Amino acid sequence: MPTATEPCLARYVRFRDLVAAGIVYNWPTLLRLIDREGFPVGIWLGPNTRAWRVDEVEAWLANRPHPDGARRKCEGATAAKPVGAS
């Protein structure tokens, strides 16, 4: 449930935003991620315009196995401090 500070509307990103975040570098890579690695398909906003929900992209990033066996964290994500830590 959204709090007073959280928007209740979904946020979307476009291809250029995925490139700027370093998630993909070109369309063929994006299409391969969609076809083979479960990247969200996104929605079509027009005949040549696709967008992806931010929460779906972040979930995909959080659950995608990284080559070294660790899970990949989203940029800007902070680790939770242990209880009692200052």
- Please name the residues in contact with 46: beta carbons below 8 A apart, sequence gap of 6 or more: none
Predicted confidence band of residue 9 (pLDDT cuts 50, 70, 90): confident
Whether the predicted pLDDT of 37 surpasses 80: yes
Give dist(CA 22, CA 17) in Å, integer.
9
For the segment 55-81, what is each residue's pLDDT rounded down to a tens digit?
A: 999 999 999 876 654 444 555 443 333
- Please name the residues in contact with 48: beta carbons below 8 A apart, sequence gap of 6 or more: none
CB atoms within 10 A of CB 42: 20
* pTM exceeding the 0.85 threshold for the entire prediction: no
